[in-house]
Every structure is written in C-alpha cells, then in structure tokens.
C-alpha cells in the first residue's frame, strides 16, 4: 500500500465519520436527510481541520449484525459515500460494521473510494456479536471479480473482541499480511477510545516488515506524538468530537490541534491542508 500515492503523505491521518443510525438499525430515526446532513458536516469539519483522509462507518447502527448487513444499509451508505466524495477532495474509505467486508468493497468499488477497513480478515474472534470468522478468501476473490484496486486495511486482534486460541501479536500481524493479503494493518486498544501500547505498535511494525501499520483507536493530541514513533498512520474519531464525547459531532478546532500534534510527532514540515480540501460548488 503506497501511502504517499493515496494520501499524499507517508504518515496519513484518517478521520472517521460516524453515521447516525441507518434504516433498519435498532435506533433508526426515520430521516435519511438528517443522517446525510450530519455526515456532510463532519466530513467538512475533518477536511477543514487538515486530515489526510476520511473513513465512513455505520457506527451508531449498534447493536450490529456480525456479518451481512441489510440491503437498506448498503443502499444508504452508497448514497452517503457518493455525496461525501462529491464534497471533499480527500481519499475516502468505508467500514461496514460489524464485519461486512464484501458490502464494503462493493460500495467502495462502485463509488471509486480508495480503501476499506475490515475488522476480522483472518482468524476467529469472540465478540459481543458472537463468533466472527475471517473471510479473506471470499473477499480477495470478490475484489478480483470486481476488477477493483480498493485497498484493504485489516484490524489485527480487533478491539471489542478476543481471539479463539492464543496467537501472539507478531504471528497475528504476519498472518493477516502474508496469508490474508491485507494491504495495511490496524492496531487498536481493547475498546473504542483505548489506545494500543507503544510496545505493541513496535512489535506490529517489526512484524509488518514494511506494510503500513495504523493506530486504530484511542489516539489524542497528548499521546499521538509518542505513538506515531512506531506507526505509519492513524485512524481517529473520539478525541476529535466536541468535549471528546463519542456521540457529539466533530469539532474542527480539535481536528486542527490533533493534526498539529501528529505533524510535530513525525517531525514533518508538511503544512495542514487548506480549505481547498472542501469543494465549494453546490451539489
């Protein structure tokens, strides 16, 4: 995975757009327009604050189905992805929770998004949705059938889950890359808002042997300069919300603070992205 080619930087910051509940989810509110409006506001705030990419998740659909989501969710996310890609000039990715990787890559391929996140690509994880089995074979074959070059970012020992068996981190990273053919790997803490340790990131980076390693949770402007010493990029959400509360919308000031902290941490002279990251034409 060529981070420079996709994100125009070797150390990308990917901000998360958490979608409000979608049709058929337990907390669906009945207005897709409200979901779209919130998503557009958050993508604009992320782009204005200087992130290098955006990933869209059906985060507030919880409790999740463990595998295939309802067709209405796929339809809604496809529509929203198209709207956001028409709004910002940043690379955009998608994560269809809890683990519907085939829908994610189908959506990404159709709207020409650049990447997807897969919570369980290989192995078996015990989660609050039950046992989730990785389906790397089906996903990689499907990507080939689609003629797609969408990149696959895969979690290793994903948060909110425990592996069946006792694989060590080094083995899990190597198998995700070498046997699951992930284009990049993601390392998180034990839950949303919990960061991985620097030691684990160092182990993961050594095992990845040049494949990009992303911090997947718990990053904030206080710990990110340290964590980025052992990672290539970061996926961030909670600390960018107003007052750091997950249910709140994105705060562009907090985005700017985080971006500045990352840039300091990696000792780069790259300047924050200008407002031109947001298209000003009407949709």
Please spell the DSSP secondary structure of 28-48, one letter per residue.
--S-HHHHHHHHHHHHHHHHH
Which CB contacts under 8 angstroms, 24+ apart, belong to 254-260?
Answer: 254/49, 255/15, 255/45, 255/46, 255/48, 255/49, 255/50, 255/51, 256/49, 256/50, 257/221, 258/13, 258/49, 258/219, 258/220, 258/221, 258/224, 259/13, 259/49, 259/50, 259/51, 260/221
**CA torsion through residues 186, 191, 197, 200, sign:** negative
User: pLDDT (tens digit, 9 = 90+) per residue, 171-210?
Assistant: 999 999 999 999 999 998 877 778 899 999 999 999 999 9
Neighbour-count burial of 87, counting CB atoms closer than 10 A to its CB (0-12 exposed, 13-18 middle, 19+ buried): buried
* CB distance 210 to 203 below 8 Å: no
> In this predicted structure, what is the pLDDT of residue 125?
86
Residue in the block written with tokens 């994880």: 125
DSSP type of residue 147: T
* Dihedral sign, Cα of residue 248, residue 250, residue 252, residue 253: positive
What are 96-135's pLDDT values in tens digits?
Answer: 999 999 999 999 999 999 999 999 999 998 888 889 999 9
Q: Report pLDDT for 244.
A: 86
Cβ neighbours around 282 below 10 Å, total: 4
Distance between CA 280 and CA 257 in Å, rounded?
24
Question: Is the pLDDT assigned to residue 279 strictly greater than 60?
Answer: no
Q: In whole angstroms, what is the distance from residue 141 CA to residue 138 CA?
A: 5
Give the pLDDT confidence score for residue 190 in this predicted structure: 76
The CA distance from 249 to 24, in Å, is 22
pTM of the model: 0.90
Q: Where are the beta strands (DSSP E) in 58-150?
A: 92-95, 115-118, 124-127, 130-133
Q: How far apart are CA 158 and CA 161, in angstroms?
A: 6
What is the pLDDT at residue 166? 63
């Amino acid at each position: 995975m060529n981070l420079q080619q996709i994100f125009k930087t070797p150390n990308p910051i990917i901000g998360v757009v958490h979608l409000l509940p979608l049709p058929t989810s337990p907390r669906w509110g009945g207005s897709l327009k409200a979901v779209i409006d919130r998503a557009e506001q958050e993508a604009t705030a992320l782009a204005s604050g200087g992130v290098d990419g955006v990933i869209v998740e059906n985060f507030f659909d919880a409790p999740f189905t463990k595998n295939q989501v309802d067709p209405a969710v796929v339809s809604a996310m496809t529509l929203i992805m198209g709207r956001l890609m028409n709004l910002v000039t940043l690379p955009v990715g998608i994560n269809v929770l809890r683990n519907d990787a085939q829908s994610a890559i189908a959506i990404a391929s159709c709207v020409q998004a650049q990447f997807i996140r897969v919570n369980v690509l290989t192995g078996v994880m015990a989660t609050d949705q039950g046992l989730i089995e990785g389906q790397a074979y089906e996903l990689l074959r499907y990507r080939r059938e689609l003629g797609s070059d969408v990149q696959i970012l895969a979690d290793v020992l994903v948060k909110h889950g425990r592996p069946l068996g006792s694989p060590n981190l080094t083995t899990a990273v190597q198998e995700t890359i070498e046997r699951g053919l992930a284009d990049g790997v993601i390392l998180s803490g034990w839950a949303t808002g919990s960061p991985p340790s620097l030691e684990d990131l160092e182990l993961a980076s050594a095992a990845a042997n040049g494949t990009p390693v992303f911090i997947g949770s718990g990053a904030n402007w206080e710990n990110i300069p340290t964590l980025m010493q052992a990672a290539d990029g970061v996926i961030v959400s909670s600390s960018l919300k107003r007052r750091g509360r997950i249910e709140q919308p994105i705060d562009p000031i907090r985005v700017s603070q985080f971006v500045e902290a990352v840039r300091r941490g990696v000792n780069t002279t790259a300047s924050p992205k200008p407002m031109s990251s947001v298209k000003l034409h009407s949709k």
